[in-house]
Chain A
Amino acid sequence: MNILPDTPSTSPPEPGFSAPDPTGSTDAHGAGVVKPRDAPGAMELPWTRILIVGAICFAVWLLLDAPSLQKSAQASPLGSRRTVSLDVVGPVAAVSRGLGLAHVVGWTDDLLGRSVGGGPSLSIATPPIIPVSKGNGKGKGPALAVTIPTTTPTASTAPTPTTLPPLPQHPTAANPLQVVVIGDSIGIDLGPPLTNDLIGTGVVAAILDGKIDTGLSRPDYFDWPAELRADLANHHPQLVVVMMGANDPQSLEVNGTAVAYGTAGWNAAYSARVGAFMDTANAAGAHMLWVGMPPMAGSQLDGEMNVVNGLVQSQAATRPAGVTYLSSRNVLGDGQGNYTAYLTNGSGSEVNIRTPDGIHLTLGGGEVLSQAVMNSIRGTLKIALPG
């Protein structure tokens, strides 16, 4: 290879690589690189005046948007950053409300049909189920003779007594098994391969409802119990697959008091939330398959996930009729259940299963775990799925 360039004048222009840009001027220093042109009517200012304009802009925006910022700050993780943010934004938000300016954002939110203080959270959500084939054509499961509770069940680790309709052992294209997959960002890593595998059987209608940066610890940030109730009401699933918990090792707020992670109080409060979450699904007639968190590369997070998994597993064990727990440590870990970034699949090929952050799953990892979930549905739940 000759690293010296062709002389531009002797080398004909190559379409796609070297034609001059029609809107830019050729830089005197660059090798045919263009610069943005000066716009007509461009206004030049000294930097001090720009600073003043910027300050006015920021002040106006802060005054108008302070209530939303306050809400965002309240939803941020507990800690000094949250405290400082609230201290700064709180008084401005009070002034904004006093002047009636908070309505500006409220009107926009009303117009767009969403909760006050900002747009939708970044998420993966799929619309109502599309029928897997010609069948009932509605994409909805059989009507369930249950009433979905509108409030979170009492925070207790004891299961709420309920009579669950049995899972269909032989779903068909005409009467598909209705599945909702929910979870945090790791659940979202599992979701697409799992929903594809489920739908690929031809006898399952599945949807994914995932929200990044969420869990059960911070309902003030994202209310998963409410989201689950909405999913139950909208989709009438017979089976809910859950995978979340990576964001949960943080302080919980119970009756207005912060309960620190790592304490017996936290374990009890978190167990109660997990149990209530399970009961919500069971009360609506849905079985729950809870997939535990995989091993993590970082030892601290890995230890935290062990705690979370243990509590979830305990809650599942008290609800054997309605909840099945599937450990992903054995699926995505090495022979001892420890973290590994690679696995050998059934055909002998190595698969990179974890992203470089040591937390999330690659597509290959999601596919491996999906197969384990499918096997659990077939084996433990005894549902005959083709394939």
Chain B
Amino acid sequence: MLFPTIDFAIFFAVVFTVNWLLNPYSVPWKIFMVAASYFFYAWADWRFMFLLAASTVIAYTGGGILDRLEGQAKRLALWVTLALLLGLLAWFKYYVFFTVNADNLFHFMGFDRPLPLLNVSLPIAISFFTFMAISYVVDVYRGTLKTARPMDLAVYLSFFPHLVAGPIVRGTELLPQIRRRRDPAHINYTEAIWLIGAGLAKKVVLSSYLATYVVDPVFASPRQHSGLEVIFAVWGYAVQIYADFSGYTDIAIGVALLLGFRFPQNFNRPYTAVSLQDFWRRWHMTLSNWLRDYLYIPLGGNRGSERKISVNILITMLLGGLWHGAAWTFIGWGLFHGVGQIVGRQRRLWRKAHGLPLEPGGRVRIAVAQFVTFQLVCIGWLLFRAPSFSNAWSMVGRLFHGWGSSPLVTPLAVLAVAIGIATQFMPDGWVDRIRRAFADRRLAVQGAILGVVLLAITTLGPQGVAPFIYYRF
């Protein structure tokens, strides 16, 4: 089920009401929330409910066994549990990619093709709930989290606001909130509706517009478009994917707030970053934190030689890229950012050794650093969005011999890109003033204002809403 649809509005109206009516009754509330979340997930394809249930059973069973073991046996149980969870992910998400490439490699080397070719469906959100299940199991193993009751774990993994596209919420963050009763009299209402409204506007208006009128046409047929259109398509995609993904998580966080839950922040003005390292502290923060805690640090983190650290960074970013999709372009994107992280680290170390400031100082230098970082991020987005390397190469080629008329670069397209970037620099005070002015109105007036805002969003958006980009991850 997609957030910006009538179906979800009806679903949420029912869930919101029953959520608070059942709030005093812990067990019925949990049963209801699991049922509602599975219904939400099954809306696209009911068969995938069993996959979600299987991940929950594996995580619960593995966590329970880990809790009772020590030493090597505990370590073995951890690896078995992780292998099962990752095995589901590998089968559904990577089997086709792996098989085709392995078979072709064997064929190239003159051997028979060893692996059967199957058409495996990709369940939505499998990457998200698998990573959450892994974080739960590893946290139990590390002793930073107590094992959860089955219904608590089922709610944690299936809770519909985060289910399909994050944010990736840790067990340490959500399970305590599931166990205690929420306060029905003090719901952070203005923050929730601001997030939902902003998320809807970003997704339905900004992201959809840029995708429809600029990004998709150019990436579909680069040879038909000028160099200027290519540049705008890549900039437009930078804005589109930010508006799309941060819009989704804004709505998810807002919806969770209305149900009495608090999710972690997932974005922090990523296009104001002054370096690629800074970008990853601001973009999809719950994923980068997850990669740090459950992959980079176990690999060795910052320990060891510089070469070992660089390898750790590269592996982490490569797998981070592969997490986004089973394609060489995603691996290329991960490699690009991995190299960027390594170069950035070496640059910082060099500056530190020479007594130079690590971050740019002064407005002009900061602005230059932000501009350069944004362009580097856009190079990464080119790989990320392109359906193939040859497509990306065609896009680059247009920059050198494709300077003609640019009918897609309309004033509205320029405005959309500018707005998407400008919002990153909007002072916090403006948002606070808008919220305060809204909160000062009477409830009926607030409702009417929200109705008009909703009308503006639905009217300015295109007919139909494309699935969120991160749905398929």
A35 at the interface (CB under 8 A from B): yes
CB distance A122 to B286 under 8 Å? no
CB-nearest residue of chain B relative to A205?
B224
B226 at the interface (CB under 8 A from A): yes
CB distance B121 to A3 under 8 Å? no
CB distance B265 to A51 under 8 Å? no
Q: Produce 1/0 per residue, A337-352, CB < 8 A to B.
A: 0000110000011111
CB distance A3 to B447 under 8 Å? no
Residue in contact with A61 in the complex, picked from B20, B216, B299, B455, CB distance below 8 Å = B455
A15 at the interface (CB under 8 A from B): yes
CB distance A72 to B187 under 8 Å? no
CB distance B119 to A354 under 8 Å? yes
CB distance B298 to A3 under 8 Å? yes
A23 at the interface (CB under 8 A from B): yes
Residues of chain A with a CB closer than 8 A to B61's CB: none
CB-nearest residue of chain B relative to A194?
B221
B16 at the interface (CB under 8 A from A): yes
CB distance A35 to B296 under 8 Å? no
Shortest Cβ distance from B410 into chain A, in angstroms?
10
Which residues, 72 to 115 on B, are CB-close (under 8 Å) to A?
75, 78, 96, 100, 103-104, 107-108, 113
Shortest Cβ distance from B4 into chain A, in angstroms?
13
CB distance B277 to A15 under 8 Å? yes
CB distance A196 to B191 under 8 Å? no
A307 at the interface (CB under 8 A from B): no
Residues of chain A with a CB closer than 8 A to B190's CB: 39, 41-43
CB distance A41 to B268 under 8 Å? no
Stretch from A123-131, A144-152, A238-246, A322-330 at the B interface: A123-131
A142 at the interface (CB under 8 A from B): no
Residues of chain B with a CB closer than 8 A to A357's CB: 121
B432 at the interface (CB under 8 A from A): yes
CB distance A104 to B455 under 8 Å? yes
Contact A342 to B464, CB < 8 A, known contacts A38-B188, A65-B459, A363-B387: no
Contact A119 to B463, CB < 8 A, known contacts A2-B300, A46-B184, A127-B407: yes
CB distance B448 to A60 under 8 Å? yes
A288 at the interface (CB under 8 A from B): no
> Complex Cα distance A4/B281, Å?
23
Residues of chain A with a CB closer than 8 A to B264's CB: 24, 27, 30, 33-36
CB distance B405 to A130 under 8 Å? yes
CB distance A120 to B462 under 8 Å? yes
Residues of chain B with a CB closer than 8 A to A46's CB: 184-187
Q: Produce 1/0 per residue, A248-292, CB < 8 A to B.
A: 000000000000000000000000000000000000000000000
Q: Produce 1/0 per residue, A43-69, CB < 8 A to B.
A: 111111111111111111101110010
CB distance A41 to B432 under 8 Å? yes
CB distance B191 to A42 under 8 Å? yes
CB distance B100 to A352 under 8 Å? yes
Contact A39 to B172, CB < 8 A, known contacts A53-B450, A61-B454, A195-B221: no
| Interchain pairs with CB closer than 8 A, number | 320
Shortest Cβ distance from A17 into chain B, in angstroms?
4
Q: Produce 1/0 per residue, B448-473, CB < 8 A to A.
A: 10111011001111111110000000
CB distance B448 to A56 under 8 Å? yes
> Complex Cα distance A361/B405, Å?
31
CB-nearest residue of chain A relative to B258?
A50
Contact A120 to B447, CB < 8 A, known contacts A21-B281, A23-B265: no
CB distance B265 to A120 under 8 Å? no
Residue in contact with A42 in the complex, picked from B16, B435, B459, CB distance below 8 Å = B435
> Complex Cα distance A5/B297, Å?
6
CB distance B217 to A50 under 8 Å? no
> Complex Cα distance A188/B387, Å?
14
CB distance B170 to A31 under 8 Å? yes
CB distance B223 to A33 under 8 Å? no
Residue in contact with A60 in the complex, picked from B217, B407, B447, CB distance below 8 Å = B447
CB distance A57 to B450 under 8 Å? yes
Shortest Cβ distance from B304 into chain A, in angstroms?
11
A374 at the interface (CB under 8 A from B): no
CB distance B107 to A348 under 8 Å? yes
CB distance A119 to B191 under 8 Å? no
Residue in contact with A14 in the complex, picked from B108, B191, B223, B302, CB distance below 8 Å = B302
Known contacts A46-B187, A129-B224; 10 additional CB pairs below 8 A are A4-B142, A16-B341, A47-B185, A52-B443, A53-B447, A109-B459, A126-B224, A126-B225, A188-B220, A356-B121
5 contacts between A and B (CB under 8 A): A36-B191, A120-B463, A126-B220, A356-B122, A358-B119
Q: What 3 pairs between A and B have smallest CB-CB spacing? A: A56-B447, A60-B451, A16-B277
